[in-house]
Amino acid sequence: MQSPHRKFFEQHTITVAQRLLGCKLTTNIGGKSTSGMIVEVEAYRDQGDEACHTAKGKTKRNEVMFNAGGFVYVYFIYGMYHCANIVTEPLGRGCAVLLRAIEPIDGIETMLKRRKIFSDAKTKSLHTKLANGPSKLCLALGINNNLSGHDILTSQQISLSHFQKISKSQILSGPRIGISKATDLNWRFWIKNNKWVSKQ
DNA sequence: TAATGGATGTTCT
DNA sequence: GAACATCCATTAT
């Protein structure tokens, strides 16, 4: 399948967020290839969004978000977890889409090991354990701060391709999860009836 | 099934 | 010193 071009990522953040649903995200880390279809995302925008990391300007932590659309922004949270974003809109803006959940495609054995899921009992309801949340997704795909600042168009370790066509009628939206500011914005988007989504 | 609280460290006030 | 785009085990209902 074809990979998106720069212009795909430089559109309005809401547009990119919706169009990322159904795309296949692949990582190649530690000699292991893993991939999954993006089924849930959240949009974070530079203007009118107090919950966005860049709401108060550029800092050491968020500087990667000011790259051109298509760069990867990973941050460390709660002392033990990572969250992965894809930068959107043109160079210098500071917008991104948070990746919240994937439906596994390739390298499931590797993902199970990274998530420390071993017993058969646990593998029976994988959709509630493997990658249904931003930090679970990072663990499953082996994403950490080393990937922050990579260009998803050229990186050898993380890439994106079109995979499944998702129409507007298949996309639902609601408030973003885990934030205290700008909770009125319905900027979480997910694929309707997809069981790999973190919260329906 | 819902609610609570601990783990853990970086960033910003 | 508080907040934090989380997760999971434990406890209460």
Sorted by sequence, the CB contacts under 8 Å of residue A179 that are 6+ apart come out as A51
Per-residue flag: A200 CB under 7 A of strand B:
no
pLDDT of residue A122: 59
pLDDT of residue A1: 77
Sorted by sequence, the CB contacts under 8 Å of residue A38 that are 6+ apart come out as A20, A21, A22, A23, A24, A25, A99, A101, A102
Nearest nucleotide to A116 by CA–C1' distance?
A: C8
pLDDT of residue A137: 98
Per-residue flag: A57 CB under 7 A of strand B:
no
pLDDT of residue A123: 66
Nearest nucleotide to A76 by CA–C1' distance?
A: B10
Query: Which nucleotides of strand B lie under 7 Å from a protein CB?
Result: 7-13
Q: How far is the CA of A200 from the C1' of C8 (A)?
A: 20
Nearest nucleotide to A80 by CA–C1' distance?
A: B8
Per-residue flag: A77 CB under 7 A of strand B:
yes
Nearest nucleotide to A97 by CA–C1' distance?
A: C5
**Residuewise pLDDT in 10s, chain A (200 residues):** 788 999 999 999 999 999 999 999 999 999 999 999 999 999 999 999 999 999 999 999 999 999 999 999 999 999 999 999 999 999 999 999 999 999 999 999 999 999 999 876 556 789 999 999 999 999 999 999 999 999 999 999 999 999 999 999 999 999 999 999 999 999 999 999 999 999 88
User: Helices in A44-194 by DSSP H: which ranges?
Assistant: 108-114, 120-123, 134-141
